[in-house]
A = this chain, B = another copy of it.
Amino acid sequence: MDVYQCIRSRRTVREFKPDPVPEDVILKILQAARWAPSSSNTQAWHFIVIQDRNTLTTLGEICSQGRFIGQAPMAIAIVMENAPRPQLDAGRALQQMELMAWSQGVGTCFAGVRDPAQQVAVKELLGIAEEMELITVLPFGYPAEGPRKKGTPRKPMEEIAHRERFGQPYR
């Protein structure tokens, strides 16, 4: 899929078909993460691929903002270890993962795991050391049938883009 078309057509997906994500697609998603740039090339990330039905169900129960994880055929947890810029680097990797997945027909939705009790529970479930930073658990799957979603509205370009100085709209 063309880059422009992929970025333009991408939608957040929270309802998945039960069909498994093929191993070659999972590998492409992991490669997209691995090929992402990172601060001073630290590559301070870990990716845990979860396909076990019971683990996915439990993750959906723990993550109150990501119940849909429980219905996904697969999820990837992103964990940062001693990263100079954990959130920024995770964001860059996860966006490459999302676009690669979408180009293969597979969708995802960011699920934050910010609540301290949820962090502890997910780390225990997945064997993640306490001192590591768990960023998200990303569910992946083929979008469930239904009318094609319109996508969430965006602010007008002139509200967010400026020319030369803040406040001079880019037109």
Query: Taking A39-B112, A91-B88, A110-B37 as contacts, is the C-beta distance between A160 and B7 under 8 angstroms?
Result: no
Give the copy number: 2
Determine whether A150 belongs to the interface, using a CB cutoff of 8 Å to chain B: no
- Expressed in whole angstroms, the Cα–Cα distance for A73 and B99 within the complex equals 28
> Which residues A14-47 have CB closer than 8 A to chain B?
28, 30-37, 39, 41, 43, 45-47
Provide the residues of chain B in CB contact with A170, threshold 8 Å: 30, 47, 49
Interface size class of A (residues with CB under 8 A): 35 or more
Q: Is the CB of B30 within 8 A of A4?
A: no
Determine whether A67 belongs to the interface, using a CB cutoff of 8 Å to chain B: no
Provide the residues of chain B in CB contact with A144, threshold 8 Å: none
Provide the residues of chain B in CB contact with A155, threshold 8 Å: 34, 43
